Amino acid sequence: MNKSQQVYAVTAICLSIIMAGAIAAYKPGALPESTIKMPGDIRFPSGVGTSLGLEAFTYQGTEPQAKTLSISGSGSASATADEATVTLGVQIEDLSATKAIQDNAEAMSAIIAALKDLGLTEDDIQTVSYSVYPRYDWTEAGQVFKGYTVTNLVQVTFSDLDMVGPVIDAAGEAGANRVDGISFQLSDAEMEELKLNAYVAAIQDAQAKADVITETLGISISGVQSVSESSYVPSRQYTDAVAESAKSSYAPTPILEGSLTVTVSVYIVYLIE
């Protein structure tokens, strides 16, 4: 085979290979790469791989978002106190710590016995403070020791509010020389009931607002998506009133009077249509 025949043979073989590849790749109706559609009608330009395009694509979904109406409501409930607490005790001063402690103990024993005679029990009387500390005076010569002070205070709690005066009188006659506070509060059961009433009032407030808005805008409520609430805080009113029995023998003692109030706030997200 001469040189020209060899060239023709090689050329024919190459053309056959090219035609075979074209026939294998040919698919009737197929679109070129540049016109392939992805979700959202995203088109990849020629020369850009589909994997690169998919990394930047985020499918948003087709489900419609729920329509909502957010409303806040507040409510409060008040009640008259059903418990009283009196803090009282004895303060003894002496040059001897031992003597001051002993005298204080004897006085407190007499006070507790007097309170029990009124019908109170040990569960109604709790020690809230006990201290022993030295006393000093400052002079030109320096610090001068003056003795020791022993203080013992108890907290007396009872539900009969008319007992405030008798408790102070009985303690004073038994040796009490400290009346540090008189307060009125709610029992745990009463506080719980007050809190629930405040919740109901807050929900009703939110519902009333929602009714006005939906009626005005011509929309309707189909359900509730979520409800959240804030912590309730009892608010108390202080006055400068003084127990009648304490006016003559004791320093004026602040008394908590009036009603106690619990306030609640709720946040409701309604579903609307």
* pLDDT tens-digit map of 226-267: 999 887 666 554 433 333 444 444 444 444 456 788 899 999
Task: Confirm if 261 and 193 have CB atoms less than 8 A apart.
Answer: no
What's residue 54's pLDDT? 46
The CATH number, out of the four listed (3.90.550.10, 3.40.190.10, 3.30.110.170, 2.60.40.10), of the domain defined by the range 68-79+190-236+259-272:
3.30.110.170
What's residue 259's pLDDT? 74
Task: Confirm if 81 and 260 have CB atoms less than 8 A apart.
Answer: yes
| Residue ranges of the chain that CATH labels 3.30.110.170 | 68-79+190-236+259-272
> What is the Cα–Cα distance from 121 to 111, expressed in whole angstroms?
13
Task: Confirm if 238 and 181 have CB atoms less than 8 A apart.
Answer: no
H helix and E strand count, the chain: 6, 12
| Residue ranges of the chain that CATH labels 3.30.70.2970 | 83-186+244-251
The contacts of residue 199 (CB under 8 Å, 6+ apart) are: 75, 229, 264, 266
DSSP string, 70-133: EEEEEEEEEEE--EEEEEEEEEEEESSHHHHHHHHHHHHHHHHHHHHHTT--GGGEEEEEEEEE
- Count of C-beta atoms within a 10 Å radius of residue 209: 15
- Residues of the chain below pLDDT 70: 1-63, 232-258
What's residue 202's pLDDT? 95
**Residues 169, 173, 178: CA angle, nearest 5 degrees:** 75
Identify which of 114, 60, 120 has the alpha carbon closest to the alpha carbon of residue 90: 114
Per CATH, the homologous superfamily of domain 83-186+244-251 is Protein of unknown function (DUF541), domain 2 (3.30.70.2970)
| 233-235 and 255-256 strand pairing | unpaired
> What is the Cα–Cα distance from 102 to 79, expressed in whole angstroms?
44
The structure tokens listed for 269 are 């997200």
What's residue 219's pLDDT? 94
Q: What is the pLDDT of residues 151-185, one digit of tens each?
A: 999 999 999 988 999 999 999 999 999 999 888 88
